[in-house]
Structure 1
Amino acid sequence: MKLVLHPTSTAQWQALVNEAEQACATHLDQELQSYLVFLLMRFTSRPELAARVIALDFLHGMSSRGRLQEEQLRDVGDQCLLYSGFYPEQARRRLVNHTYFVDLGRSAYGTLAERLRHATAEVYAQLAEAFVHLRDVLQTMRELDREAVLDPLHNAELWQQTGSRRAFAQYRRQTGVIPIPLDEDTEKPH
């Protein structure tokens, strides 16, 4: 990986997001791209968030009101996005499914989109809708140095449960086969 330094941390994060978008063949609109850059900047200075119990934060956010609710649910959505993209191994450590963070993050952003009355509601709706694409960009950023590729089983699970095009492509590249989607009506072995 070639190291290119930019004059500011914002420019550095922007360049990494752009490179990851290209590498995973995903295009984020300007608003989502900016949100992702500022999310990365905000969380690089808050390592204490790794010790949080996100589900409890979600419940506290759901029972809060006003600005406090927006901050708590936004933080839950943001943390879930970071965990699912940068730190997918956290799911295994916390004994939850890989899609746990995707589902919880989408719910946090979606709840904000429904409850807010100002212009930010549309941003949260976009974040909920594009969550898997944003996760794919973060996962690609992590893998640009070739160290942190998910194993085929986890890629198959992510693709099956979230529709991630990147997880599908990774699985196919790793195994040389095309995964067959499980039909919800198909009886699974006991």
Structure 2
Amino acid sequence: MSRLILEPTPQAQWQALVHEAQTACDRSLDESLESYLVFLLMRFADRPDCTARIMAEDYLKSQALQGEQRAGQLREVGDHCLLFSGLFPQLAERRLVPVSYFVNIGRASYQQLSAGLDRGWSRMYNHLYEAFVVLMDILHAMRGLGGETILTPFQAMDLWQDTGSRRCYEQMCADGRVSPVPAATEKH
């Protein structure tokens, strides 16, 4: 990170970090997405055990549930997949799956939530579904604030091809090893 972030509350610290990451990757979130991301980071900051979960299994289990249990399980799956794809993409390599595996399961979870909830929450989860790749890019930027690249060139290329991630495209161009043809828009 470029500087030590000292804020009076954990929420303010996470918010400052999210702002710095948005600036670093030249992306901006609206207030609802930014708030969701900040509270998601706060909620999982004290749960290092969350990386042991198997997302496909949790997603399949959610399909057998009803009502609030199903919604809660789908939200957990979507949130975990967002964190895994954005902050811990190395989990995909260890599990022998592409990072887009987490993107696809996370987006599907948010999309199902959007279809099954009342109008207010439906809009929020649809917004998360649509902005999943942008949120992932911001989380990648957050991890990269210290100067390290969190994706290998091959992971960046795969993720760019699968999702249209602008951050992955920029990483590939910055590496100088690849000159990809820019995608018209993000796929997700």
Report the TM-score when normalising by structure 2: 0.92
Per-residue CA distance 1:149-168 (angstroms, 9 max, x = gap): 31211111111110001100
CA displacement at 1:51 relative to structure 2 = 1.3
CA displacement at 1:4 relative to structure 2 = 2.4
Contact 1:155 1:170 in 2 (8 A): yes
Contact 1:152 1:175 in 2 (8 A): no
- Whichever residue aligns with residue 98 of structure 2, its letter is N
CA displacement at 1:176 relative to structure 2 = 5.3
Per-residue CA distance 1:91-137 (angstroms, 9 max, x = gap): 01111112100000000000100111241111100000000000000
Q: Are residue 77 (structure 1) and residue 78 (structure 2) matched?
A: yes
Counterpart residue number, 1:186: none
Per-residue CA distance 1:61-84 (angstroms, 9 max, x = gap): 121111111110000000000000
Counterpart residue number, 2:55: 54
Counterpart residue number, 2:12: 11
Counterpart residue number, 2:27: 26
**Secondary structure of 1:67's match?**
helix
- Whichever residue aligns with residue 85 of structure 2, its letter is S
Contact 2:98 2:155 in 1 (8 A): no
Counterpart residue number, 1:126: 127
Instruction: Give distance in 2, aligned partners of 1:141 and 1:132.
Output: 14
Instruction: Give distance in 1, aligned partners of 2:136 and 2:114.
Output: 19
5+ long unaligned stretches in structure 2: 184-188
- Whichever residue aligns with residue 69 of structure 1, its letter is R
Counterpart residue number, 1:91: 92
Contact 1:160 1:181 in 2 (8 A): no
Report the TM-score when normalising by structure 1: 0.91
5+ long unaligned stretches in structure 1: 183-190
Change (3 A) 1:54 1:71: same
CA displacement at 1:148 relative to structure 2 = 3.9
CA root-mean-square deviation: 1.4
**Secondary structure of 1:97's match?**
coil
Counterpart residue number, 1:179: 180
Question: After superposition, where does 1:117-156 map in structure 2 within 5 Å?
Answer: 117-156=118-157
Structure 1's consecutive aligned runs of 4 or more residues displaced over 4 angstroms after TM superposition are none
CA displacement at 1:87 relative to structure 2 = 0.4
Contact 2:114 2:123 in 1 (8 A): yes
User: Identity percentage over the alignment?
Assistant: 48
CA displacement at 1:34 relative to structure 2 = 0.2
Which of the two has higher C-alpha Rg? 1
Instruction: Give distance in 2, aligned partners of 1:64 and 1:103.
Output: 20
